Chain A
Amino acid sequence: MSNNNASSSSVAVAQKAVKQLRIEAKMRRINVSQAATDLKNFCLQNAHKDPLLVGVPSSDNPFRPPKSCGLL
C-alpha cells in the first residue's frame, strides 16, 4: 500500500515537472544581441537622470546641507 502511494506521488511530481517544462519550452525567445542592445539603450537613455551615476550637487542633495559661509 505504501509503495503504491510513494510511486503515485512520484508520478505526480514527474507529471508536474513535464507540464512545467512544456510551458517553458513553448516560449519564443529573442536573440541576446537584440536583448542586450535594448538593455544598453535603456541604460544610456536614462543615465542623465541617475543621481548615483552623474553625482548630486550639494545644493540638491537632501543628505548634505549646503555649505554656508560664516561671517567673520
Chain B
Amino acid sequence: MKKEAEALKTQIEAARKAACDTDMASAASGVAPAPRVQLKTRRTLKGHLAKIYAMHWSTDNKLMVSASQDGKLLIWDSHSGNKVNAVPLKSSWVMTCAYAPSGNLVASGGLDNMCTVYNLKTPVIKTVKELDAHTGYLSCARFLSDTEILTSSGDTTCALWDLETGKQKTVFLNHVGDCMCLALSPDMNSFVSGACDSLAKLWDIRDGQCKQTFQGHTSDINAISFYPSGNAIITGSDDCTCKMYDLRADQEVIGYQDAALNSGVTSLALSVSGRLVFAGYDDFNCNIWDSLKGEKVGVLSGHDNRVSCTGVPVDGMCVCTGSWDSFLKIWN
C-alpha cells in the first residue's frame, strides 16, 4: 500500500507539473504595477486591556467584533470608534471570534476547546449555545448562517455544527497537524483550512470530503483566505511567506516573500478586487503585497507589538489590523 501511495503522489506531482506552463508573475508581466499604497490610520480603537487575538467585520461594514485575552469580546462601531457592546467570556484564553452574516450572533473560542455563540439582539446579550466536542483548542470559527457554523481546532479536525441542536453535523478529518485557520468560499459550498502540517486543504461542506491538498509551505499555516473570484486561495505561514494557490490548476502560482522578512505571517486579508494582500507579521508590521506581481507595495506600521489579525469589510472601504499591543487600527 505504501507503494501505491508513493505512486499516486508521483502521479499527482506529474499532473501538476504538466499543467505548470507559466507562473502568475510572468502571466501578469504586462499588467501595470499597483500604485504605491499609502494608507493612513483613521481610527485607533482603544479599550482592550490585553493582547488582541482576533477580529471580524460584520457584513454591515460598520460594526466589528474583537477578542482579547483580557476575557472580553468588544463590538465596535468603526465609524464613530465607540464600543457598542462588551461580552464577558467564561474563558479568557480566546483565540478566535466571528460575526454572523445576519449581525444577530457572534461567536468566540480558544483554549477552552469550545465555541460559544452569543445573541446580540436580546435585551441582555445571552449565550445561546456552547459547542463542545472538539478535543483541542478552537483556532477559528465562521458562521454560514444563524443556524450553522464552521470551526477549526487544534485536535486536527474542522467541524460543521448545527446551532439549533448544538451538535456536529459533519467532521472534516484529514489534517495531521493542528488546524489553525479556515476560510469560506464566496459561494459557501466549500471551505479551506490551514494547519500545522504546513498543508492547506479544500473541503466540500456538504459531503465532508477533502477535495484537494496544497503543499509548499515549510511551517504552520496561520492564515488563509479565498481570492474574491473563488478560484484561488492565499495562505500565510510561520515560514515568513504567503502563497497563492489556484484551485483549478491545483498548485502554487505565486509566492510573496522577501529575504529581509524573517517573521512569521499571522493573518491576512484581501482587498475587494483581490489585487492587494494585507499580511500581518510577528515583526509588528502589516505588509501590503501586489497579488499579481508578487511585489511589496506598501506597509502599515503603527503597532507596538505583533499584528495578530487583519480584516477588510465586504465593501472594501478600509482595512483593520489588531495587535498584541491591545489596539485595533482602521486604515484607508
Measured between beta carbons, the chain B residues less than 8 angstroms from A14 are: 1-2, 5
- CB of B320 to closest CB in A, whole Å: 10
Known contacts A24-B12, A42-B228, A52-B37, A18 near B1 by CB under 8 Å = yes
Contact (Cβ within 8 A) B317 A56:
yes
Contact (Cβ within 8 A) A29 B16:
yes
Contact (Cβ within 8 A) A29 B228:
no
Contact (Cβ within 8 A) A39 B232:
yes
- B332 on the interface (CB 8 Å rule)? yes
- B153 on the interface (CB 8 Å rule)? no
Contact (Cβ within 8 A) A47 B275:
yes
Contact (Cβ within 8 A) A53 B1:
no
Measured between beta carbons, the chain B residues less than 8 angstroms from A25 are: 8, 11-12, 15
Known contacts A38-B229, A56-B317, A31 near B249 by CB under 8 Å = yes
Contact (Cβ within 8 A) A52 B312:
yes
- CB of A36 to closest CB in B, whole Å: 3
Contact (Cβ within 8 A) A36 B34:
no
Contact (Cβ within 8 A) B248 A53:
no
- A20 on the interface (CB 8 Å rule)? yes
Contact (Cβ within 8 A) B292 A35:
no
Contact (Cβ within 8 A) B318 A39:
no
Contact of A40 among B251, B292, B319 (CB under 8 A): B292
For window 5-27 of A, CB contacts with B under 8 Å fall at 11, 14-15, 17-18, 20-25, 27
Measured between beta carbons, the chain B residues less than 8 angstroms from A37 are: 27
Can you name the residue of chain B whose Cβ is closest to the Cβ of A27?
B250
Measured between beta carbons, the chain A residues less than 8 angstroms from B8 are: 18, 21-22, 24-25
Contact (Cβ within 8 A) B12 A53:
no
- A70 on the interface (CB 8 Å rule)? no
- A32 on the interface (CB 8 Å rule)? yes
Can you name the residue of chain A whose Cβ is closest to the Cβ of B248?
A30
- CB of B267 to closest CB in A, whole Å: 16
Known contacts A32-B22, A35-B249, A63-B42, A43 near B274 by CB under 8 Å = yes
- CB of A14 to closest CB in B, whole Å: 5
- B213 on the interface (CB 8 Å rule)? yes
Contact (Cβ within 8 A) A46 B228:
yes
- CB of B191 to closest CB in A, whole Å: 17
- B23 on the interface (CB 8 Å rule)? yes
Known contacts A18-B4, A21-B5, A21-B9, A50 near B79 by CB under 8 Å = no
A31 to B332, CA, bound (A): 36
Contact of B211 among A11, A23, A46 (CB under 8 A): A23
B267-278 vs A, CB cutoff 8 Å, 1 = contact: the mask equals 000011111100
Contact (Cβ within 8 A) A33 B22:
yes
Contact (Cβ within 8 A) A36 B24:
yes
Measured between beta carbons, the chain B residues less than 8 angstroms from A46 are: 228, 272-274
Instruction: Kindly list the 10 A-B residue pairs having the minimum CB-CB distance in the complex, ordered from nearest.
Output: A36-B27, A63-B42, A46-B273, A21-B8, A50-B273, A35-B246, A35-B249, A42-B229, A52-B271, A29-B19
Which residues of B are interface residues toward A (Cβ below 8 A)? 1-2, 4-5, 8-9, 11-12, 15-16, 18-24, 26-28, 31, 34-35, 37, 39, 42-43, 62, 78-79, 174, 209-213, 227-229, 231-232, 244, 246, 248-251, 253, 271-276, 291-292, 312, 315-319, 330, 332
Q: What would be 18 A-B contacts, judged by CB atoms less than 8 Å apart?
A: A14-B1, A17-B5, A21-B9, A21-B12, A25-B11, A29-B16, A31-B19, A32-B27, A32-B253, A35-B249, A36-B26, A36-B27, A42-B228, A43-B292, A52-B312, A53-B276, A62-B79, A63-B332
Since A35-B249, A43-B292, A50-B272 are in contact, a sample of 9 more A-B pairs with Cβ atoms closer than 8 Å, ordered by chain A residue number, is: A14-B1, A32-B20, A32-B23, A35-B231, A36-B26, A39-B246, A40-B28, A51-B332, A53-B37
